[in-house]
C-alpha cells in the first residue's frame, strides 16, 4: 500500500503570509486585534488564532479602538473607507497577487463596457473585486449564466485567483460568441494552477483520493470537483477522523491533497490515520510524493 501526497498541496504563499502578518501584528499590538472574516477557511487554524486572541469578525458595527487585519482575499474599497472613518487601524494582509487583480479590475473599469469576473459570488475575493469595478463588474459562476448575457462590443473577462481553469476556459469559449472584442485575462494564480494540475495527476494514478480542507474553502472545493471528474472515488474530508477503514478496502494507492488553506498538520494527520487503519492488517506502507 502506498500513500501519495500531492505535490504543492497545503498552504499557499498568500495564506501563509497572512498568517505570519497576523502573528506579528498580535505581538506588536497591545489592544484588540480582529480579522475581517476568517483569515483562513480551516477550523483548526481558526481555533489556534482564537487562542492567540486574534478574533474573527464579520460586522464592523460598534467597533472602535482596534486593529483590523484584511485577509489574503482582500476587501472592497468601501471596507477600507469605513474602517478609516471609524479610526480603526488597518493591517493589510491582502495577497499581493490578489492586489494585482484588484488593480487590473480598476484599470479595466476605465475603458471596458463590462468586466466579467468568473468566481463564486459569495466569496470574499469576488466581493472585493466587484468593489473595484465601478459598477461594471458582472459575476459569472457557470457556463449557463453566459446564456442570459446580452451581446456586447467590448468586454473583459478574468477569474477569481482560485478558479478552476477548466471552467474558466469553458466560460471564455461561451462568451466569445457574444462579444465582438473579448480581452481575456487569466488571473488564476500560479499556485492554484500547479495545485490543480498536481491533484488531477494524482487522481489519475491512485485508487482513492482524499481532499483535505475546510468545507467553506472555495479552492479546496474546486480541487474536490477536479479530482471527482477524474476519480469518482474522491472524498472531501475536514479532519482525519472522517477517514474510515472501510473506505480504504482494496485500495493499493491512496492519494491525499489539500487546498491553499489546508495546514500541513491536516495532511500529516490524514497520513497517520491511513497508516493506523492498515497497521492491523499487516500491510506495508510508504509515503511518497506523486512522481508524475
Residues with a catalytic annotation lie at 125
Query: 76-95 mask for ligand SF4 (x: CB under 6 A)?
Result: -------------------x
Which of 73, 136 has the CB closer to ligand SF4? 73
**Minimum distance between the CB of residue 1 and ligand SF4, rounded to whole angstroms?**
32
Which of 161, 257 has the CB closer to ligand SF4? 161
Residues 236, 262 contacting (CB under 8 angstroms) = no
Instruction: Provide the grid cell at 99.
Output: 492586489
**Minimum distance between the CB of residue 264 and ligand SF4, rounded to whole angstroms?**
15
**The one among 12, 21, 108, 139 contacting ligand SF4 by CB under 6 A:** 12
**Minimum distance between the CB of residue 248 and ligand SF4, rounded to whole angstroms?**
30
Which of 66, 159 has the CB closer to ligand SF4? 159
Residue 241 CB contacts under 8 Å (≥ 6 apart), including other chains? 273
Is residue 218 near ligand SF4 by the rule CB under 6 A? Answer: no
**The one among 42, 192, 198, 262 contacting ligand SF4 by CB under 6 A:** 192
Is residue 251 near ligand SF4 by the rule CB under 6 A? Answer: no
**Minimum distance between the CB of residue 219 and ligand SF4, rounded to whole angstroms?**
6
Site for ligand SF4, residues 132 to 151, rule: CB under 6 A: none
Site for ligand SF4, residues 60 to 79, rule: CB under 6 A: 72
**The one among 35, 179, 191, 262 contacting ligand SF4 by CB under 6 A:** 191
Is residue 257 near ligand SF4 by the rule CB under 6 A? Answer: no
**The one among 25, 161, 234, 257 contacting ligand SF4 by CB under 6 A:** 161
Query: What is the DSSP annotation of the chain?
Result: -EEEEPTT-S--HHHHHHHHHHHHHHHH-SSEEEEES-SSS-HHHHHHHHHTTEEEES--TT--SEEEEE-TT---HHHHHHHHHTTPEEEE---HHHHHHHHHHHHHHHH-SEEEEES-TTSHHHHHHHHTTTT-EEEE-STHHHHTSPPEEEEEEEE-TT--HHHHHHHHHHHHTTEEEEEE-----HHHHHHHHHHHHHHTT-SEEEEES-TT-HHHHHHHHHHHHH-SSEEEESSGGG--GGGGTT-SEEEEEE-TT--HHHHHHHHHHHHHHHHTTT---EEEE---
Residues 88, 66 contacting (CB under 8 angstroms) = yes
**The one among 1, 2, 13, 178 contacting ligand SF4 by CB under 6 A:** 13
Is residue 260 near ligand SF4 by the rule CB under 6 A? Answer: yes
Say how far apart CA 168 and CA 173 lie, in whole Å: 9
**Minimum distance between the CB of residue 133 and ligand SF4, rounded to whole angstroms?**
18
Is residue 116 near ligand SF4 by the rule CB under 6 A? Answer: no
Binding site for ligand SF4 (CB under 6 A): 12-15, 72, 95, 97-98, 161-162, 189, 191-192, 260
Amino acid at each position: 500500500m502506498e500513500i501519495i501526497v500531492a505535490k504543492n498541496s497545503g498552504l499557499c504563499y498568500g495564506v501563509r503570509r497572512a498568517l505570519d502578518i497576523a502573528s506579528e501584528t498580535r505581538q506588536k499590538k497591545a489592544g484588540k486585534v480582529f480579522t475581517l472574516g476568517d483569515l483562513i477557511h480551516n477550523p483548526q487554524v481558526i481555533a489556534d488564532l482564537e487562542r492567540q486572541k486574534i478574533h474573527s469578525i464579520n460586522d464592523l458595527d460598534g467597533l472602535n479602538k482596534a486593529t483590523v487585519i484584511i485577509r489574503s482575499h482582500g476587501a472592497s474599497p468601501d471596507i477600507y473607507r469605513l474602517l478609516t472613518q471609524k479610526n480603526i487601524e488597518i493591517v493589510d494582509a491582502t495577497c499581493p497577487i490578489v492586489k494585482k487583480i484588484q488593480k487590473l479590475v480598476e484599470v479595466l473599469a476605465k475603458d471596458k463596457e463590462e468586466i466579467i469576473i468568473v468566481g463564486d459570488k459569495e466569496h470574499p475575493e469576488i466581493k472585493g473585486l466587484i468593489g473595484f469595478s465601478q459598477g461594471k463588474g458582472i459575476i459569472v459562476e457557470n457556463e449557463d449564466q453566459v446564456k442570459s448575457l446580452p451581446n456586447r462590443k467590448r468586454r473583459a473577462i478574468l477569474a477569481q485567483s482560485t478558479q478552476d481553469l477548466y471552467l474558466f476556459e469553458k466560460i471564455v469559449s461561451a462568451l466569445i460568441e457574444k462579444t465582438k472584442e473579448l480581452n481575456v485575462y487569466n488571473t488564476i494564480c500560479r499556485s492554484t494552477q500547479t495545485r490543480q494540475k498536481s491533484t488531477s495527476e494524482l487522481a489519475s494514478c491512485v485508487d482513492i483520493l482524499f481532499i483535505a480542507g475546510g468545507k467553506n474553502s472555495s479552492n479546496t472545493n474546486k480541487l474536490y470537483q477536479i479530482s471527482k471528474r477524474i476519480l469518482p472515488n474522491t472524498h472531501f474530508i475536514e479532519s482525519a477522523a472522517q477517514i474510515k477503514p472501510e473506505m480504504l478496502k482494496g485500495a493499493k494507492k491512496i492519494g491525499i491533497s489539500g487546498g491553499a488553506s489546508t495546514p500541513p498538520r491536516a495532511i500529516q494527520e490524514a497520513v497517520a490515520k491511513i497508516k493506523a487503519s492498515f497497521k492491523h492488517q499487516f500491510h506495508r506502507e510508504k509515503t511518497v510524493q506523486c512522481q508524475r
